[in-house]
C-alpha cells in the first residue's frame, strides 16, 4: 500500500481489491452492537478540514473512532493565505504534535499532495478542490461491486459538471483501474479542458448527448449523476436550469427507458443532490437507486483505508528516509 | 471483486527438509477424540458453537462439527472468528488484510463457544480471539481446541482439548497441511527454521 | 580607475583579441598580438572565453520599494551582474507603483547607489496599475530617469480605449508599451495553469492560449492604427507567435520577448503542484515551447527577458492556486538560453548576443548598451565560457529569494565576468560590492 492516498491513481488493482475486501469486513462489523476494533489503538488521526463537509468529516471521524484511533477534528476555514499564514506553516504547526495521519479537505486542487511533501504523517485526500476525492471513488466502487461483482467490462455512465468535479476525476481513474467501460457525459462547457486527449490516453468515452450514451450501444450497468451547481449559470456554462435538466438530467422517463434495457441498472449520486436539476425524485428514490448504499459504505471504506495506511509497520517501511516508527 | 478467490483453498508448499510427525490417520484419530471430549465436557451438543480461527482453524472446526453430528445426530453451528484486527503485533508486521468473521445465526450470547485453531504456540492468537469474541457477545463459556500444542506460551492460556502435544524448539517451525485447505494430504510436520505460529 | 586588460578573449566567440579598457571605454583592440601591461593594469585572463556586449534584461522585478524582504535594487543588481547583465529594466509593480517621475527617479538612484548594473525604471501605463487612468507618462519620460518603456506588467492593459490612448500618447517621446498580454475575462484571477490536459486532470483553473493571442492581435492592430510601438512581454504560446509573425509581416512596429523558462520548461512540471513552477504566463506544453524556440531563432521573437520574479518562501508555500506567480531568472538566463538555443544548434552565439543584448537595448533605447566590442564603445561587456558546465544551486544565489526552478539542473555555458563601464562587477558568478560612480 502507498503511504498516502492522494489520488485514486495511487492504488493498483490488487490494492483496490484489498481495500474493498477489508471494507466488506468492516461493513459487517458496523452491524454489531460493539463496533469498536482495537486495530489503530494509539494512533492519532487528525481531520483537517479547510472546507466544510459534514458528511465526509463525520464519516472519517466515525471510521477512526471505531478503529480505536484518537481522532481529532480541526476546522481551518478560510484560506490560510488570507490570514497571512502559509499552508505549510499551518500544517507543520498541527503535525508538530505526533500525528499518524492527516485527513485533509481543501478547496484548492493539489493541496493534499503538497502537504504530503512536507509532513511525515500519512496524508489522506478527503477532497481537494476540483481535483480528486479518492475515498468517494472507493466507496462508489464498493457499492457497485456489492451489486455487480467484478466491474471489468461493466458499463458505467458518469453525467454532470465534470469540469468542477473531483468525484468524476477519482472515479474515472479508479474505474479504469478496475477495467470498467466508462462513458462521461456533459455539455462541452462542462467538460474538463483537454478531455479529448485525456480520454484517448486513458481509454474512456466522451459524449455530449445523454440519450445517445444511455440508449445506443450496450446497456449501462451504472448511471452516476454528479451535482451541478446553479451558480455555474452565471459563468456562462449553460443557459438555464431547465435547459440543463432537459438535456442532462436523469428524468423519470430516462430511468424507465434505462430499466427496460437493463432492469438491474444502478443509479448513483455522490450527494448532495439537486433534485429536479440533475436528478428527478423518481430516479433518486426509485428502484435501482443505491444512493443510500453509497452513504452507508462511506464509514466502512474509510475504516479500510485508515487500516491499510496506518496499521502496518512504518518503521520498516520508512527506514530509507531515516524516520522512526510513528507513535 | 475476487472475495471468493481468496477463500478458495490455496496450497502451501511443504518444506522438503521437514519430518512428518502426524499423518492423515493420526489427525483423523485426534479429531475424533477431541469431538468426543467436547461432547463429554459439555454433556452433549446443546448450546455448542464451534468457531474456527482462519484459515485452517475453520477447516478443523468444520470437520469437528461433522464428527460431533455423527456421534450425537445433531448439527452443531460452525462459524469463523477473524482475529486480525485484534492482534497485538499489527505494528511490527506488514499490514494484513482481515478475513471474514461469520457468526452462526444463534449468536454467541449464552452459548458454549469452542475456539478451534491448528497450532497453539505463544497464546497471543487466542488472546486476540478472546477479545474479538467479547465484542460479539457474552458466551456462557469459552473453550479452546487445537490440533497441536507446541508449547512456549507467552500468556497464561491453555487448551482444553489437544490433538497432540509436540515438544519443539523455538528454532523449529510446525507446518499443518489439510486436504480441504491446502489440497494435499493431511499432515503435521516439523521443520528447522524460524519459529512459526501455525500456518496462518 | 585603473586600466583593465582582457587578455585573449574571442570577440563574439570568433576572433581572439586583447582588449584594453580605459576610462570605461574600449581603448584598444589587438587581434595581432598581446597588448603591453603597465603595472597598474588589472588583467583578466580570458583564454577560452568569449567577450560579448553585456546583457540587457527588459523585464526584471526588483521588489523595491515595498517588498524588500524578497529583493532589493542592490540584491537584484548583484544577481543581474552575476548573470552577465549590464542593464535591467525594473518593472513598475512595486509598492508604491512606479507611476510618477519621482518614483522612477528614486529607482534610478537606488540603482546607481548599488552600482552593479544600470537600473532603468519601467513606468506604469496606468495609475496604480488599475487600468483606468493613464499614469504621468510624459513626466516620467522627461524626468532624469528618461523612462521609455511603460508597462502594467502583472496586469494586462485590457481596456482597448486606454491602450489606444497610451500608444498614441507615448509616440510624442518615442516610448513603447510592454504589454502583459492576458485577457482577464478569458484567464481570470484564479487561472494558474495552462489550459489543457494537465489543468483538466489536475483540476486547476486554466489560462488558455487564446487569452494571450487575442490581446496580441488587438494590440498589433492598435499599434498599426496609432503608428506607435508595442512590445509583447513574455510571449508564451505558438498561436501568440503566429499573430506576431503576421503582424511583423504587415510592418507593424511590434516586438516581443520570451523568458528562459518558457524556452526550457513545460507544463508537465506542474503535475506535482510545486508552486515553484507557478508563473504567469504559465508553463506551456512542449509544442508551444518548440514554437517559441523556433521563433526566437528566426527573429520573430526579438529578445530574451527574464521576468525575474523573487518571492518569499511563505508567499510560495500555499496551495498552488493561492501561491504567488513567478520564478528567479537573472543568474541563470545565459546558461539556459545558451544551452537550449546555441549548444543545441538552433542559433549561433552572435544570435544570442542580438537577443540578449542588442535587441533589448534597442527596444528600450539604451544607447550605451548592446554596442559592438570595438574601440570607442562603452565597456559594458560580459565574458562567457561556452564550454563550462554549471549546476544551479539555489542557495548560492545573490537574490534574497529562493523560488528557483533551475535548482539542481546542469547547463553548458557560464558567465565568467561582467564589466560595467570598465569596472568588473561580477567574477566567477559572484558580484563585486557596488561602488558609487561619478556620472555627473
User: Can you give the CATH number for the domain in which A184 is found?
Assistant: 3.40.50.1370
Statement: residue C247 has pLDDT above 50 = yes
Q: Same domain for C117 and C145?
A: yes
Amino acid B2: pLDDT: 34
**A–B: how many Cβ contacts below 8 A?**
64
Task: Tell me which of C3, C99, C307, C339 is the catalytic residue.
Answer: C307
C184 lies in the same domain as C132 = yes
Q: How close A65 comes to chain B (CA, Å)?
A: 14
Name the residue among B169, B122, B171 with its Cα closest to residue B146. Answer: B122
Instruction: Confirm if C125 and C135 have CB atoms less than 8 A apart.
Output: yes
Reply yes or no on whether C307 is catalytic.
yes
Tell me: do A79 and A195 sit in the same domain.
Answer: no
**Is residue C19 located within the same domain as residue C130?**
no
**Residues on chain B touching A308 (C-beta within 8 angstroms):** 95
**Residue A3 within any structural domain of the chain:** no
Residues A159 and A170 occupy one common structural domain:
yes
Residue C440 has pLDDT above 60, yes or no: no
Backbone phi and psi for residue C124, each to the nearest 5 degrees, phi listed first: -70, 150
B102 secondary structure, DSSP code: B
A13 and A50 fall within a common domain:
yes
**pLDDT at residue C427 is higher than 60:** yes
Domain count, chain C: 2
Average pLDDT (A257-273) is 95
Query: Is residue C117 domain-shared with residue C256, that is, in the same domain?
Result: yes
Angle at C268 between CA C263 and CA C271, to 5 degrees: 140
What digits encode the pLDDT tens for the residues A179-229?
999 999 999 999 999 999 999 999 999 999 999 999 999 999 999 999 998
Residue A245 within a domain: yes
**What chains are in contact with C, requiring at least 3 Cβ pairs below 8 Å?**
A
In a domain, C62, yes or no: yes
- Rg of chain A in Å (alpha carbons): 20
The partner residue sitting opposite A20, judged by closest CB among B1, B85, B137, is B1
Question: Within this chain, do residues A149 and A289 fall inside the same structural domain, yes or no?
Answer: yes
Whether pLDDT at C438 is above 90: no
- Residue C1: pLDDT over 70: no
Average pLDDT over chain A, rounded to an integer: 91
Q: Contact A22/B92, CB-based, under 8 Å?
A: no
Say yes or no: C22 and C71 in one domain: no
Residue C381 falls within a domain, yes or no?
yes
Same domain, A151 and A177: yes
Mean pLDDT lowest for which of A169-178, A284-293, C161-170, C297-306? Answer: A284-293
| Residue A269 within any structural domain of the chain | yes
Q: Tell whether B92 is within 8 A of chain A (Cβ).
A: yes
Q: Which residue matches cell numbers 569596472? A: C423
CB pairs under 8 A between A and C: 94
**Contact status of B97 with chain A (Cβ, < 8 Å):** yes
Percentage, residues of chain C above pLDDT 90 = 93
Q: Please report which confidence band the pLDDT of residue A160 belongs to, taking 50, 70 and 90 as the band edges.
A: very high
> A86 and C313 in contact by Cβ < 8 A?
yes
Nearest CB to A149 within list B1, B99, B101:
B1
Give the domain range for residue A301. 8-133+297-321
The predicted model scores a pTM of 0.90
Residues C352 and C379 in one domain: no
Residue C369 falls inside a structural domain: no
Please give the residue of chain B at the shortest CA–CA distance from A35: B135
Residue in B closest to A38 by C-alpha: B86
If you measure CA to CA, which chain C residue comes closest to A50? C319
Same domain? A115 vs A222: no
Instruction: Provide the CATH number for the domain around residue C112.
Output: 3.20.20.140
Tell me whether residues B95 and A37 touch, CB distance under 8 A.
Answer: no
Yes or no: say if C181 and C232 are a contact pair by the CB < 8 Å rule: yes
Q: Does residue C439 sit within a domain? A: no
Closest C-chain CA to A195: C197
Asked if A308 lies within 8 A of B95 by C-beta distance, the reply is yes
What is the least distance, in Å, from the CA of A220 to any CA of chain B?
19
- Chain A contact residues (CB < 8 Å to C): 79-81, 85-89, 106, 108-111, 113-114, 117, 128-132, 163, 166, 169, 192-195, 197-198, 201
Is the predicted pLDDT of residue C434 greater than 80, yes or no?
no
**What's the confidence (pLDDT) of residue C33?**
85
In a domain, A168, yes or no: yes
Looking at the structure, do residues A92 and A146 belong to the same domain, yes or no? Answer: no
Q: Is residue C368 part of a domain?
A: no
For chain B, list the domains and their CATH numbers: 25-90+98-168 (3.40.50.2020)
Beta carbons of B91 and A325 less than 8 Å apart = yes
Which residue in C has a C-alpha nearest to residue A166's C-alpha? Answer: C203
Please write the tens of the pLDDT for every residue from C43-63: 999 999 999 999 999 999 999
Task: Closest CB to A22: pick one of B93, B98, B101.
Answer: B98
- What is the per-residue pLDDT across C155-207, written as a single tens digit (0 to 9) for each? 999 999 999 999 999 999 999 999 999 999 999 889 999 999 999 999 999 99
3-state secondary structure B18-74: CEEEECHHHHHHHHHHHHHHHHHHHCCCCCEEEEECCCHHHHHHHHHHHHHHHHHCC
Of B94 and C365, more confident: C365
In a domain, A74, yes or no: yes
Question: Where does residue A33 rank: exposed (0-12), middle (13-18), buried (19+ CB within 10 A)?
Answer: exposed
Q: Say if residue C193 is in the same domain as residue C75.
A: yes
CB A316, CB A326: distance < 8 Å: no
Distance CA A265, CA A250 (A): 13
Test A79 with C318 for CB contact under 8 angstroms.
Answer: yes
Tens of pLDDT, residues A53-109: 888 999 999 999 999 999 999 988 765 556 678 999 999 988 888 899 999 999 999
User: Closest partner residue to B90 among A28, A32, A311, by Cβ?
Assistant: A311
Q: Do chains B and C touch (3 or more CB pairs under 8 A)?
A: no
Main-chain phi, psi angles of B108, to 5 degrees: -120, -10
C100 and C83 together in one domain: yes
Cβ-proximal residues to A52 (8 Å cutoff; 6+ apart), any chain:
A75, A77
A64 shares a domain with A145: no
Which of A83-87, C16-20, C178-182, C263-267 has the lowest average pLDDT? A83-87
Same domain, A70 and A151: no
User: What is the arithmetic mean of pLDDT over C366-382?
Assistant: 97
Compute the nearest-CA separation of A313 from chain B (Å).
Answer: 5
Q: Taking CB atoms and an 8 Å limit, are A89 and C317 in contact across chains?
A: yes
Q: Mean of the pLDDT values across residues C289-303?
A: 98
- A282 with A301, same domain: the answer is no
* Binary contact (A169, C203; C-beta < 8 A): yes
Closest chain A C-alpha to B92 CA, distance in angstroms: 5
Q: What is the DSSP letter of C122?
A: P
The proportion of chain A whose per-residue pLDDT surpasses 70, expressed as a percent, equals 94
Q: What is the pLDDT of residues A93-143, one digit of tens each?
A: 888 888 999 999 999 999 999 999 999 999 999 999 999 999 999 999 999
Please report the residues numbered 133 through 152 in chain B whose beta carbons come closer than 8 angstroms to any beta carbon of chain A: 134-137
Q: Looking at chain B, which residue has its C-alpha nearest residue A31?
A: B136
Are residues C73 and C44 part of one domain? Answer: no
Q: How far is CA C39 from the centre of its chain?
A: 38
Nearby residues of A200 by Cβ (< 8 Å), 6 or more positions away: none
Q: What is the mean pLDDT of residues C201-230?
A: 97
DSSP-H helix ranges across C317-398: 333-337, 349-353, 359-363
Flag whether A326 is in a domain.
no
Tell me, yes or no, whether C404 and C278 share the same domain. Answer: no
Number of domains in chain A: 2
pLDDT attached to residue C38 = 75
Q: Which of C318, C338, C363 is the last residue of a domain?
A: C363
Q: What is the pLDDT of residue A79?
A: 52
Q: Kindly list the averaged pLDDT for each block of 10 residues, start to end, along chain B of length 200.
A: 39 74 94 95 93 94 95 93 89 82 90 96 94 92 96 94 92 91 91 56
Here the CATH number for the domain that contains residue C384 is 2.30.40.10
Residue at A1 is within a domain: no
Residues in B closer than 8 angstroms to A20, CB to CB, are 1
State mean pLDDT over C256-271.
98
Is C201's CB within 8 Å of A192's CB? Answer: yes
C363, C384, C403 - which closes a domain:
C363
Give A-chain residues touching C321 at CB under 8 angstroms. 108-110, 129
| Cβ pair C196:A193 closer than 8 A | yes
Asked if the structure places residue C317 within a domain, the reply is yes
Q: Is residue C266 part of a domain?
A: yes
CB contacts, 8 Å: C318 with chain A: 79-81, 86-87, 108
Question: How large is the greatest C-alpha to C-alpha distance in chain B, in angstroms?
Answer: 46
CA distances from A268 to A162, A280, A295, C13, C426 (A): 15, 12, 10, 68, 66
The verdict on A146 and A259 lying in the same domain is: yes
Q: Assess if residue A145 is contained within a domain.
A: yes
Domain around C24: 4-51+375-431
Closest Cα in chain A, distance from residue C244 (Å): 25
A21/B85 Cβ within 8 A = no
C299 lies in the same domain as C410: no
Residues C88, C56 contacting (CB under 8 angstroms): yes
Asked if C322 lies within 8 A of A193 by C-beta distance, the reply is no
C114 occurs within a structural domain: yes
pLDDT on residue A317: 40
| Cβ–Cβ gap C317/A195 under 8 Å | no
- pLDDT score at B88: 85
For residues C253 and C355, state if they share a domain: yes
Same domain assignment for residues A46 and A120:
yes
Q: Which residue of B has its CA nearest to A317?
A: B94
- How close A136 gets to chain C, by Cα (Å)? 16
> For C131-135, what is the mean pLDDT?
97
C317/A86 touch (CB, cutoff 8 Å), yes or no: yes
Amino acid at each position: 500500500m502507498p503511504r498516502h492516498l492522494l489520488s485514486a491513481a495511487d492504488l493498483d488493482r490488487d490494492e483496490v481489491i484489498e481495500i474493498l475486501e477489508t471494507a466488506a469486513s468492516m461493513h459487517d462489523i458496523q452491524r454489531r452492537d460493539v463496533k469498536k476494533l482495537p486495530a489503530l489503538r494509539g494512533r492519532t488521526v487528525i481531520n483537517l478540514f479547510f472546507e466544510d463537509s459534514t458528511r465526509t468529516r463525520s464519516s472519517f471521524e466515525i471510521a477512526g473512532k471505531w478503529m480505536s484511533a484518537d481522532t481529532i477534528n480541526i476546522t481551518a476555514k478560510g484560506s490560510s493565505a488570507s490570514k497571512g499564514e502559509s499552508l505549510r506553516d499551518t500544517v507543520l504547526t498541527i503535525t508538530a504534535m505526533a500525528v499518524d495521519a492527516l485527513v485533509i479537505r481543501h478547496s484548492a486542487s493539489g493541496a493534499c499532495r503538497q502537504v504530503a511533501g512536507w509532513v511525515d504523517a500519512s496524508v489522506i485526500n478527503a477532497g481537494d478542490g476540483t481535483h480528486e476525492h479518492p475515498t468517494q471513488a472507493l466507496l462508489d466502487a464498493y457499492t457497485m461491486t456489492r451489486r455487480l461483482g467484478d466491474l471489468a467490462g461493466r458499463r458505467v455512465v458518469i453525467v454532470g459538471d465534470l469540469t468542477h468535479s473531483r468525484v468524476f476525476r477519482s472515479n474515472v481513474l479508479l474505474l479504469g483501474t478496475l477495467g470498467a467501460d466508462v462513458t462521461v457525459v456533459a455539455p462541452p462547457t462542462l467538460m474538463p479542458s483537454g478531455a479529448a486527449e485525456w480520454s484517448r490516453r486513458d481509454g474512456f468515452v466522451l459524449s455530449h448527448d445523454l440519450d445517445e450514451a444511455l440508449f445506443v450501444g450496450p446497456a449501462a450497468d451504472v448511471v452516476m449523476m454528479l451535482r451541478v451547481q446553479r451558480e455555474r449559470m452565471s459563468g456562462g456554462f449553460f443557459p438555464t436550469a431547465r435547459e440543463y435538466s432537459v438535456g442532462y438530467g436523469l428524468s423519470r422517463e430516462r430511468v424507465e427507458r434505462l430499466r427496460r434495457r437493463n432492469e438491474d441498472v444502478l443509479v448513483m449520486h455522490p450527494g448532495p443532490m439537486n433534485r429536479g436539476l440533475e436528478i428527478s425524485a423518481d430516479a433518486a428514490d426509485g428502484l435501482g437507486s443505491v444512493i443510500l448504499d453509497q452513504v452507508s459504505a462511506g464509514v466502512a471504506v474509510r475504516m479500510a483505508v485508515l487500516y491499510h495506511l496506518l496499521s502496518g509497520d512504518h518503521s520498516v517501511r520508512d527506514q530509507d528516509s531515516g524516520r522512526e516508527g510513528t507513535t | 471483486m475476487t472475495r471468493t478467490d481468496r477463500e478458495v483453498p490455496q496450497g502451501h508448499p511443504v518444506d522438503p527438509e521437514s519430518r512428518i510427525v502426524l499423518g492423515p490417520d493420526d489427525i483423523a484419530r485426534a479429531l475424533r477424540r477431541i469431538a468426543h471430549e467436547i461432547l463429554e465436557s459439555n454433556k452433549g451438543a446443546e448450546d455448542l458453537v464451534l468457531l474456527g480461527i482462519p484459515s485452517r482453524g475453520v477447516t478443523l472446526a468444520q470437520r469437528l462439527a461433522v464428527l460431533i453430528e455423527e456421534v450425537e445426530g445433531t448439527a452443531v453451528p460452525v462459524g469463523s472468528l477473524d482475529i486480525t484486527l485484534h492482534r497485538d503485533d499489527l505494528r511490527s508486521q506488514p499490514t494484513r488484510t482481515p478475513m471474514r468473521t461469520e457468526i452462526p445465526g444463534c449468536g454467541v450470547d449464552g452459548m458454549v463457544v469452542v475456539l478451534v485453531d491448528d497450532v497453539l504456540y505463544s497464546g497471543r492468537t487466542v488472546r486476540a480471539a478472546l477479545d474479538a469474541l467479547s465484542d460479539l457477545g457474552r458466551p456462557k463459556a469459552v473453550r479452546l481446541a487445537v490440533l497441536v500444542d507446541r508449547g512456549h506460551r507467552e500468556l497464561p492460556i491453555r487448551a482444553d482439548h489437544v490433538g497432540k502435544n509436540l515438544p519443539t524448539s523455538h528454532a523449529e517451525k510446525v507446518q499443518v497441511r489439510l486436504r480441504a485447505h491446502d489440497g494435499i494430504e493431511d499432515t503435521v510436520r516439523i521443520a528447522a527454521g524460524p519459529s512459526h505460529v501455525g500456518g496462518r | 580607475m585603473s586600466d583593465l586588460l582582457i587578455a585573449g578573449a574571442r570577440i563574439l566567440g570568433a576572433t581572439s583579441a586583447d582588449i584594453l579598457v580605459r576610462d570605461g571605454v574600449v581603448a584598444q583592440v589587438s587581434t595581432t598580438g598581446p597588448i603591453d601591461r603597465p603595472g597598474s593594469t588589472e588583467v583578466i585572463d580570458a583564454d577560452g572565453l568569449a567577450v560579448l556586449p553585456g546583457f540587457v534584461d527588459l523585464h526584471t522585478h526588483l521588489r523595491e520599494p515595498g517588498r524588500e524582504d524578497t529583493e532589493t535594487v542592490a540584491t537584484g543588481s548583484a544577481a543581474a551582474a552575476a548573470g552577465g547583465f549590464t542593464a535591467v529594466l525594473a518593472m513598475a509593480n512595486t509598492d508604491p507603483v512606479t507611476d510618477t517621475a519621482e518614483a522612477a527617479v528614486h529607482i534610478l538612484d537606488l540603482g546607481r547607489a548599488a552600482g552593479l548594473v544600470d537600473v532603468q525604471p519601467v513606468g506604469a501605463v496606468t495609475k496604480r496599475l488599475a487600468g483606468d487612468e493613464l499614469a504621468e507618462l510624459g513626466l516620467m519620460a522627461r524626468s532624469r530617469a528618461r523612462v521609455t518603456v511603460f508597462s502594467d506588467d502583472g496586469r494586462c492593459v485590457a481596456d482597448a480605449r486606454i491602450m489606444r490612448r497610451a500608444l498614441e500618447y507615448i509616440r510624442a517621446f518615442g516610448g513603447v508599451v510592454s504589454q502583459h498580454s492576458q485577457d482577464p475575462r478569458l484567464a481570470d484571477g484564479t487561472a494558474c495553469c495552462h489550459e489543457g490536459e494537465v489543468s483538466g486532470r489536475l483540476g486547476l483553473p486554466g489560462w488558455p492560449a487564446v487569452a494571450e493571442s487575442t490581446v496580441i492581435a488587438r494590440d498589433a492592430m492598435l499599434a498599426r492604427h496609432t503608428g506607435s510601438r508595442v512590445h509583447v512581454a513574455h510571449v508564451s504560446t505558438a498561436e501568440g507567435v503566429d499573430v506576431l509573425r503576421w503582424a511583423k509581416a504587415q510592418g507593424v512596429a511590434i516586438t516581443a520577448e520570451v523568458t528562459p523558462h518558457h524556452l526550457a520548461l513545460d507544463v508537465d512540471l506542474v503535475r506535482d503542484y510545486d508552486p515553484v513552477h507557478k508563473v504567469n504566463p504559465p508553463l506551456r506544453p512542449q509544442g508551444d515551447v518548440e514554437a517559441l524556440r523556433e521563433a526566437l531563432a528566426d527573429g520573430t521573437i526579438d529578445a530574451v527577458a527574464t521576468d525575474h520574479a523573487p518571492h518569499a518562501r511563505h508567499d510560495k508555500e500555499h496551495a498552488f492556486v493561492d501561491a504567488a506567480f513567478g520564478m528567479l531568472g537573472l543568474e541563470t538566463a545565459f546558461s539556459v538560453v545558451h544551452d537550449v538555443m546555441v549548444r543545441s544548434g538552433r542559433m549561433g552565439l552572435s544570435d544570442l548576443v542580438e537577443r540578449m543584448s542588442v535587441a533589448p537595448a534597442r527596444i528600450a533605447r539604451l544607447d550605451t548598451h548592446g554596442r559592438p566590442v570595438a574601440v570607442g564603445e562603452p565597456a559594458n561587456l560580459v565574458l562567457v565560457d561556452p564550454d563550462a558546465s554549471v549546476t544551479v544551486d539555489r542557495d548560492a544565489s545573490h537574490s534574497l529569494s529562493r523560488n528557483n526552478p533551475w535548482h539542481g539542473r546542469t547547463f553548458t555555458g557560464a558567465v565568467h565576468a561582467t564589466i560595467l563601464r570598465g569596472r568588473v562587477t561580477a567574477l566567477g558568478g559572484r558580484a563585486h560590492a557596488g561602488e558609487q560612480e561619478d556620472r555627473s
